[in-house]
Every structure is written in C-alpha cells, then in structure tokens.
Amino acid sequence: MDSTSATKLQLHKKKTWFLLLTFSLLLSTLLITISITSTSSTTPSLLNYAHNRKPKPPLPQFVESKLHVASISPNPIPKLAYLISGSAGDGVSLLRTLKALYHPRNQYAVHLDLEASAEERLEVAELVENEPVFKRVGNVRMVTRANLVTYRGPTMVTNTLHAAAILFKEGGDWDWFINLSASDYPLVTQDDLLHTLSTIPRDLNFIEHTSDIGWKEYQRAKPVIIDPGLYSRRKSDVFWVTEKRSVPTAYRLFT
C-alpha cells in the first residue's frame, strides 16, 4: 500500500470518529433538553401541592397527662404529715410542740432555719435521733439542709415545699399536710383529730381560695416585694418596692 492510500484511510477513520462524536453530543443535548422541559412542567404542580397542603397541627400536650391521682388507702384512719419549723432560740419549744403532736401513725419533719446556730440545730437533730419512740417508729426526720426563711416572703413557701418533698420521698403515703411553727400548740389530741378526719373524704382539702380577692388586690397583688433570704445569709424582713404592678388580665388571681 502506497503512502497516498494510507493517508486516505487515516482521514476516513478520523471522519468516522468525528461523526460518531458529533452524533453523541447531539443525542446527549436532546436528552438533557427533554429532561429539563419535563422537570420544569412538573415543578409548579409540586410547588402548588406543597403550598396548598396545610401542615398538621401539633398534638396538644397537657400537664394532666403526666399526673396521676394517688390511690386512697383503704384504712379508715388517715395519716397526717407535719412540718414544724422554728428559728434561733426555738429549739426547746419546737421539741415541745413535736412531742405534743406526736402520733406513731403520722409523719413529721422539723426545721430550724439558718438564723439558728449550728450548735442549736445539731442539738435538736441529736435529740430527735436519740428519742427512743422516734427512733423505734422512724417517722420523725430533721431537715438537715437548713433554709433561711423570711416571714411573708417566698422563702417561706420554698421551705414548706422542701419539707413536703422530703415527706413525700421518705414518709410514704399520707393524706393531709399541716404546716406549724414552734410557737404553736395543739388544742386536741392526735387521736381525736384522726378520728374526726376519718369521717370526711380523703380528697377534701382545707385551702381557702377565691378569685374575689377584694382588698388583697391592692395590698398583695399589686405590691412588689423583695425577699432578702433569696440572696443573703442574714435574716431580715421583706421590703416593698415603691412602684406597683398592674393586675394581670390574661388570667385571674386566686388567693
């Protein structure tokens, strides 16, 4: 084969490959165009569907679903839970009140706040721990983590809730909670009180609350008070801010 024939053969092969490449490019371009056209025609419908589709409202979550009503004991005699609290110098009267209120069926928490010295709190704790009846029955406990309590302040509420939590955790099931101070003294025996309470429903409480707050709106709802017991280790009375707050309108106050 001469050089002229070889050159023609190479040119023919190049032309064939060029035609195949061109055809492939045209076919690819056609397929891409068809794909883009079909996608653009279906996209508005998908967008309209997504736009018109209303999201499902979230399921409501109520705190009631997490609550459960405690079972009522079949025993006709109820159980009481007591908080007896005091301050500096109240150790003797606190123990006197505790012994006057004591009944082996009840549960008791005693608390001396931080104004009392560590020695006084330790003395009361040792007397409670070493009392033979308390030790044998095991229903009296000292609140070892003392709180600073301000009369009429929120620390008084938090101290009560703290004691109630301890009695719930360690005192088992009881029916009513009674909050007393070291200066209180019972007028009836615990046997008489338990007998009286055994005649009423266990789900009845003695907390008086009403939305007709009357004079309390100006003297309790509007004033802004600051409790030093929340930030100080020295006990002092609450103090009032000169400005008043407005009564809320989104809900009603009960007291």
pLDDT digits (tens, 9 = 90+) for 77-112: 899 999 999 999 999 999 999 999 999 999 999 999
User: For 186-192, what is the mean pLDDT?
Assistant: 94
Alpha-carbon separation of residue 166 from 41, 99, 120, 161, 175 (angstroms): 69, 20, 21, 9, 15
The CATH code that applies to domain 79-197 is: 3.40.50
Query: In the structure encoding, which two tokens stand for residue 141, read together?
Result: 């406990």
pLDDT interval class at 219 (50, 70, 90):
confident
Give the model's pLDDT for residue 108: 97
Q: How many residues are recorded in the chain?
A: 255
pLDDT tens by residue, 144-171: 888 888 888 888 889 999 999 999 998 8
Decide which of 108 and 13 is more confident. Answer: 108
| Residue corresponding to tokens 């939590």 | 165
| Residue corresponding to tokens 């419908």 | 45
Alpha-carbon separation of residue 238 from 199, 228, 235 (angstroms): 41, 6, 9
pLDDT interval class at 9 (50, 70, 90):
low
Alpha-carbon separation of residue 204 from 72, 110, 139, 199 (angstroms): 12, 25, 24, 11
CA 243 remoteness from chain centre: 30
Rounded (5°) CA angle 10-16-21: 125
pLDDT tens by residue, 51-63: 555 566 665 555 4
Instruction: Work out the number of other CB atoms within 10 angstroms of the CB of residue 123.
Output: 16
Which sign does the torsion angle of CA 135, 139, 144, 147 carry?
negative
Give the model's pLDDT for residue 6: 57
**Cα–Cα distance between 31 and 124 in angstroms, integer?**
92
Class of residue 84 by CB neighbours under 10 A (exposed 0-12, middle 13-18, buried 19+): buried
Beta bridge partners of 239: 226
pTM more than 0.75 = no
Give the model's pLDDT for residue 253: 79
User: For 174-195, what is the mean pLDDT?
Assistant: 93
Give the model's pLDDT for residue 66: 59
Alpha-carbon separation of residue 118 from 88, 141, 145 (angstroms): 10, 17, 11
**Helix/strand/coil for 248:** coil
Domain ranges, ordered by start, for the chain: 79-197, 209-255
